[in-house]
Structure 1
């Protein structure tokens, strides 16, 4: 996995530089996400590994309809270097670069039940204040938390769940 990230990093940086230069960050994000989903499919992955697949056919397979011509050239470069299998890693690294450039923090709020919009807005405002950046919040439901929520933003985990509190209490009593 770390080797794949090492190989994918220069391609992600090149894609980001091209997108930034042309002002097409969002279009590149969508195109890379599409290509990554296609390349990650097991049937497509085996096809991409076939040496008889022409580079132009690989580009046509991985390119979404209406993609920018720079993106098609990028896919052709990947095909020429036999690096199409790195598309999921390239897309993830590109997303990180874009988030950093746009000063966005991605956060996940996992709660025992679906949170009302007002609570999500309050959490988003608190995270925006804490990080000094815009926050892109996604939600998940995990009934095992019993109550409360766990917020994950980058390397930071804020565990305000009842399950977490019970676990910490148990650890404190056992010590």
Structure 2
């Protein structure tokens, strides 16, 4: 199962890279990101539509009809429309979330930004958030966009995720390590 996930992720990155290159050449990368995010949100809000778009049992014709209706409503640029059609034709619509996430990373990278997910046991004060943003910006050399979520089970400390890097300085993890050391 893990191999499949890695394979799917690799394919999604290839699609995202190709789309990002074309969008960059046309100077519409931000637009592509926004349009894919809009379609992604629509699928998230409608489980029925999501199922129709990713199910291998639904015909391409039915998926194309559904996409055509969406395209008439949303009126995205041609590159986004053609990309969504390509995902249908190649039976890759299930990769949309991964592709959209990769596109956001590309846009952020080119703009000198990085998305950082932070988990804390309780809400951080605005001053702590500002200090954390500044520290992470100093370390990465990039503008930091924090996504903070509360996870009471951490007990204390925090967990930081930046791309593929994870720093776990939670009390829960520290206690777990201590327990493992004491076991011998």
| TM-score interval (norm. to shorter) | 0.7 to 0.9
Alignment of 1:161 onto 2:166: no
Are residues 1:47 and 2:52 paired?
yes
- Show the counterpart of 2:105: 96
C-alpha separation in 1, matches of 2:164 and 2:91: 33
CA RMSD after TM alignment: 2.6
Contact 2:60 2:89 in 1 (8 A): no
Check the 8 A contact 1:35/1:64 in 2, yes or no.
Answer: no
**TM-score (normalizing by structure 2):** 0.78
Change (3 A) 1:39 1:173: same
Superposed, 1:22-171 pairs within 5 Å as 22-39=26-43, 41-48=46-53, 49-53=58-62, 55=64, 57-61=66-70, 65-171=74-180
Alpha-carbon deviation of 1:28? 1.2
SS of 1:115 mapped into structure 2: coil
Q: 2:80, 2:107 → 1: CA distance?
A: 16
Structure 1: where are the runs of 5+ without partners?
Answer: none
Query: For residues 42 and 26 of structure 1, what CA distance do their matches in structure 2 show?
Result: 27
Distance 1:157 1:54 in 2: 38
What is the TM-score of this pair, normalised by structure 1?
Answer: 0.81
Structure 2 unaligned segments of length 5 or more: list them.
Answer: none
Query: How far apart in 2 are the matches of 1:63 and 1:120?
Result: 42
Residue 45 (structure 1) shift:
4.0
Q: In structure 1, how many angstroms separate the alpha carbons of the residues matched to 2:102 and 2:66?
A: 25
Q: What is the count of residue pairs matched by the alignment?
A: 175
Deviations 1:90-141 (A, max 9, x none): 2122223223323322212211110011101101111111122222211011
